A and B are shown apart, each in its own frame.
Chain A
Amino acid sequence: MKAKVKVTLKNGVLDPQGKAIEGALGSLGFSGVNGVRQGKYFEIELAETDRTKAEAQVKAMCEKLIANTVIENYAIEFT
């Protein structure tokens, strides 16, 4: 089973990299960009075949290491 995890900065946490990307898009002539937030994406290959167990496992991974929940949110998907 493969888990896909997206980690994003929480709302209200300043994202200077997103701001820099937004500025660069503007200077390339892309108009109408109202905001850019940058995040991280992980693909995790799991030996576990039970969906419920896999979910619990990946949630624990996110809480313990993959995301810093002080500043980041995470979302898990399975394929």
Chain B
Amino acid sequence: MKLTLKIWRQKDANDKGGIKTYQLDNVSEHMSFLEMMDVLNEQLIAQGEEPVAFDHDCREGICGSCSMHINGQPHGPDRAVTTCQLHMRSFNDGDTIYIEPWRAKGFPVIKDLVVDRSAFDRIQHAGGFVSVGTSGNTQDANAIPIPKADADKAFDAATCIGCGACVAACKNASAMLFVSAKVSQFALLPQGKVEAKRRVLNMVEQMDKEGFGNCTNTGACSVECPKEISLENIARMNREYLKASVTGE
């Protein structure tokens, strides 16, 4: 198939940036979206031009690196996929495709489609852990049985890959889905209960500091989330936050 690509090009953080248009022929429907980008970059290199910079690594939907806003949707038109798992069979011959980076105050553009997501790391530094040493001298793993339903819910929350699509999808650039996934994972498990109050307060405080907006329950984040992280997690985080704020340590 033949495509017209409208891609955001921005030399560095200080550059204003803008959309450039490229024509690409011979795209196979079996290619992944990033393989299509590889072909474009090979073409640009052959013409002596600079290839389009984009983040990517595992190319199997789990590392969370890839982050393209495609035709106005984070990770493109398909549900429950990352950009690397999107295949060209989701597009038609002759299509024009707009490709942009995540847009959010908390995610400044570094170059082209590459953004700085270190704010997510800093939120995790603020409390995304259980304070247990790594000596291995803890109790036996089966000492505390955990109801399967709780363990499964904690797992579902823990499958967040930290890609940032939730923020990119949100009109408020809110990071609530991301933060609530970690808060929920630990709130649901006995291991996380001890520090639950401190964790939610600290993580939310850091989230606000990073310039992410607030949640207005639109739900776009969950729809666009490649791991289908549920909105219930935001509700759980709000409960945890309220509880912690009201009752204190």
Same complex? no
Chain B residues near A (Cβ < 8 Å) = none
Chain A residues near B (Cβ < 8 Å) = none
